[in-house]
Amino acid sequence: MSEASMAKPNRLRWSIPARWYADPEIHRLEQERIFAREWMLIGFAAQIPNPGDTLARDIAGRPVFVIRNREGALRAFLNVCRHRAARLVPEGAGHCDVLRCPYHGWLYDAEGRLKALPEFGEAPELDKSKLGLVPVRVAEWRGLVFVTHDRNPSTVEEGLGDLVRVAERFPLERFEWQDRTLYQLDFNWKNYVDNYMEGYHIPYLHPGLNRETEAKAYTVTPGDRVCIHRAPTRTGATYDGLWLWRWPNITIGIYGDGLNITRIVPHGPSQMALEIDFFFLPDPKADPEDRRRKMQWTREVVEEDFDMCRAVQRNLEGGYYETGPLSPRHENGVAYFHDLVRRALAPELTDQEPH
């Protein structure tokens, strides 16, 4: 965005065009210019502790897997066999002693080198060294595993922006995974992020949360590709945790002994998945029922937004709404998110306003 737009905090901001929430071409551009360029969370180091452990999923619409090699280092590749494009490693976390393609049995090592093509036949002109798996950049940061399709990426720490600094005082590595909740939803991922980025709607959609927090005093503070949320309680107690969104699609919440990490994953112009991983600090004295209640409370608050996001999606897609003004008091996080989307998709549009 231009320096001028950043320098005028009081200028009224408008939301990105409605058609960006339903357009297949925008979805394609986002995969290429946002999700394929950023460091993306693929999973957690604790899921792949041993040599041969694997973790596979799509990142920016392309299948990727991570494998821990014999020396304990992480390697990542496109999950595509160089023979006839079979998927090598099953989705999710797993383990393989040898990387053997399930289609015709080609063998690769954990460095991605093609080692054997059983029963292939004589082919003196075939150069095995040119048929290694396509590497993908991978890095671990504090127990989280990130990959990027960018061929010349920054370091993961640079890529994570202010997340590195604001998470410093929290013991991320000590949390242990507890549970996962997955929602398949019929709306655009930006529609969900917009909703996440403001506390303006709390009195209307979240009666329970509204009884506990002072929605008027809810703040969202943008940093470098991160927005920090703060919600003072009604009793005025200071809340000592961390609650943030990180560009483009993860949120992190730390509440006492609990940690939630959420991924907002686009699956199409009007489809997304919301994946919440719940973690807790190890504590033999912890009451499992109390932890179950905490997770359930989070799910309930999250679910309270879904109907509104569905209704908004329908109206964004209808062709009868274009853009709306963003509240200077409550929607600065939405404005910041929209700036990042505009900058990624159409740099020349960063100052666009309706006429």
Point out which residues bind ligand FES (CB under 6 A): 81, 83-84, 86, 101, 103-106
Least distance between ligand FES and beta carbon 63 (Å): 13
Beta-bridge mates of residue 137: 148
User: The tokens of 292 are what?
Assistant: 């179950």
Least distance between ligand FES and beta carbon 67 (Å): 16
User: The tokens of 224 are what?
Assistant: 């470098």
Q: For Fe ion, which is the closer residue by CB, 38 or 305?
A: 305
Q: For ligand FES, which is the closer residue by CB, 100 or 267?
A: 100
Least distance between Fe ion and beta carbon 330 (Å): 12
Instruction: Convert residues 288-317 into a mask of x (bound to Fe ion by CB under 5 A) and - (unbound).
Output: -----------------x------------
How many chain residues interact with Fe ion (CB under 5 A)? 1
Instruction: Output phi, psi for 315, to 5 deg.
Output: -75, -30
C-alpha span between 181 and 276 (Å, rounded): 5
Least distance between ligand FES and beta carbon 84 (Å): 4
C-alpha span between 198 and 333 (Å, rounded): 7
Beta-bridge mates of residue 265: 273
C-alpha span between 326 and 12 (Å, rounded): 7
Q: For ligand FES, which is the closer residue by CB, 104 or 128?
A: 104
Interaction partner, residue 113 (Fe ion, ligand FES, none; CB < 5-8 Å by kind): none
Q: For Fe ion, which is the closer residue by CB, 305 or 331?
A: 305
Interaction partner, residue 305 (Fe ion, ligand FES, none; CB < 5-8 Å by kind): Fe ion
Interaction partner, residue 83 (Fe ion, ligand FES, none; CB < 5-8 Å by kind): ligand FES
Interaction partner, residue 231 (ligand FES, Fe ion, none; CB < 5-8 Å by kind): none
User: The tokens of 130 are what?
Assistant: 């040119």
C-alpha span between 266 and 187 (Å, rounded): 9
User: The tokens of 332 are what?
Assistant: 């600065």
Interaction partner, residue 81 (Fe ion, ligand FES, none; CB < 5-8 Å by kind): ligand FES
Interaction partner, residue 106 (ligand FES, Fe ion, none; CB < 5-8 Å by kind): ligand FES
Q: For ligand FES, which is the closer residue by CB, 104 or 230?
A: 104
C-alpha span between 59 and 82 (Å, rounded): 19
Least distance between ligand FES and beta carbon 277 (Å): 31
Least distance between ligand FES and beta carbon 85 (Å): 6
Q: For Fe ion, which is the closer residue by CB, 194 or 305?
A: 305
Q: For ligand FES, which is the closer residue by CB, 85 or 217?
A: 85
Least distance between ligand FES and beta carbon 136 (Å): 18
Rule CB under 5 A: which residues touch Fe ion? 305
